[in-house]
Structure 1
Amino acid sequence: MTNKENLLKGLVKENPLFVSVLGMCPSLAVSTSLENALGMGMGVLFVLVMSNLIISLIMSNEKLAALVKPVRIPVYIVVIATLVTIVEMVMHAFLISLYNSLGVFIPLIVVNCIILGRAEAFASSNKPLDSVLDGIGMALGFTAAIAIIAIFREFLGKGTITVWGNLVINLKGAFTFIGIEPIGMFVQPAGAFLSFGLILAAVVAIGNKRKEKLAKGAAK
């Protein structure tokens, strides 16, 4: 696998949310606005990249690897928890509104299946550079996925898209044009599951169509 393939695989082919269906809890909980989705994405990007790098460096050293392997999962969690604490402190200091909005889901990054999964499945058995590229790709794929869900939910639920802070795109005119009100259910918990299901169904349908075209092309 080339560096480019390693980096890009997390965006589509192995997208952690739409393909592997990992990290659903924070994805559905914080995707009420694009701002929240981007904030969570930034946090996951930092933690995933740095944890992949640190764990790869540890496991690449034969002596350290021999000590860590029997208790590798607790070691991974300690590394991840330390990085999450840094993210939480930085957000609390400089992005207080985002910190308050994300709430308990910031410390819950520690138990995000994507981060621990990449540590065990990839970083522990690959070189540091490969692990960093894997982390970047997976984090960007995760961020793109929750951003899509957030845009879908906020538009249908409020008629707006909150990009960041006071930068809000007002699209209520689209609802006024067709004579209906925004559907508030989409920014509620039930709307999160419905939105995820609809988007996932669309992703699967597009993937199946692509496979069919490739199969027909190969047959010719």
Structure 2
Amino acid sequence: MSIYKEITLNGIWKQNPGVVQLLGLCPTLAVTTSVVNGVSLGLATVLVMAAANGTISPVRKYVPNEIRVPVFILVIAALVTVIDLSINAFAHPLHKVLGIFIPLIVVNCIVLARVESFAAKNAPIPSILDGFMMGIGLTLVLGLLGGMRELVGKGTLFSGLDLVFGPAAKQFVLTIIPDYHGFLLAVLPPGAFLGLGMLIAARNWMDIRNKAKSADEHTTTSALQPALHP
């Protein structure tokens, strides 16, 4: 259980692909103009990463080392094609918005990095969990960044929900700032860089604060031990 706990913690916090490893910056910066766009691409990446890790891990011993990367990319490309065609079939408006970034999951360094560094060296169950949690960590970053940019840029949250669930979902779009004329910088690429920088700074600050708190607690415990045990 400690292995699974460590894999989960690494994917969401310690080795988060979006704010720690800084992998897949192209879709992170390009697609996160809204919460819906960011989360949709993130969930597609989750499915691809979990499926790719689960596919590669059982056959890792049978793939020659010389051709492992082309084989990995071939498997990832097949999975991405399935996801791409599924989104096109069941959520065509969303497919048009995400555009080329769905097929580009094939060459996303996050997917190939986890297949190469984890799935090719570990058993199927931990590999599937690793791909899933790394994808969830990226999805959280995409959702937060998309929410920040959408709120500042448009004054709304969940705009474009109808692209996924149909016209009836428009009633769930939240207008946070009424009569807001928008802030163009937030929805442009420079806004993505600024927003991502803020998320990285916030994550680093929380990490430093937690480490300092743990160190203070350890120092206090060490100082009390002689008094408790004379």
TM-score (norm 2): 0.87
RMSD across aligned C-alpha pairs, in angstroms? 1.4
- Once the 2 structures are TM-superposed, how far is the Cα of residue 50 of structure 1 from its aligned partner? 0.5
1:68-114 Cα distance to aligned partner (Å, 9 max, x none):
31111111100101111111111111110110000011111011111
Residue 168 of structure 1 corresponds to which residue in structure 2? Answer: 173
Residue 107 of structure 1 corresponds to which residue in structure 2? Answer: 103
Residue 188 of structure 2 corresponds to which residue in structure 1? Answer: 188
- Out of 132, 135, 150, the residue aligned to residue 136 of structure 1 is 132
Partners in 2 of 1:125 and 1:54 — Cα distance?
A: 13
Runs of 5+ consecutive residues of structure 2 not aligned to the other structure = 163-169, 221-230
Identity level (%): 39
Runs of 5+ consecutive residues of structure 1 not aligned to the other structure = none
Within a 5 Å distance, the mapping from 1:1-220 to structure 2 comes to 1-59=2-60, 62=61, 64-65=62-63, 68-162=64-158, 164-165=161-162, 166=170, 167-173=172-178, 181-220=181-220
Partners in 1 of 2:65 and 2:190 — Cα distance?
A: 41
Q: How many residues align?
A: 210
Residue 223 of structure 2 corresponds to which residue in structure 1? Answer: none
1:135-183 Cα distance to aligned partner (Å, 9 max, x none):
111111110111000000000000001262223111114xx6xxx7532
Larger Rg over CA atoms: 2
TM-score (norm 1): 0.91
Structure 1 residues 210, 181: closer, same or farther in 2, change over 3 A?
farther
Partners in 2 of 1:155 and 1:115 — Cα distance?
A: 29
Partners in 2 of 1:8 and 1:197 — Cα distance?
A: 22
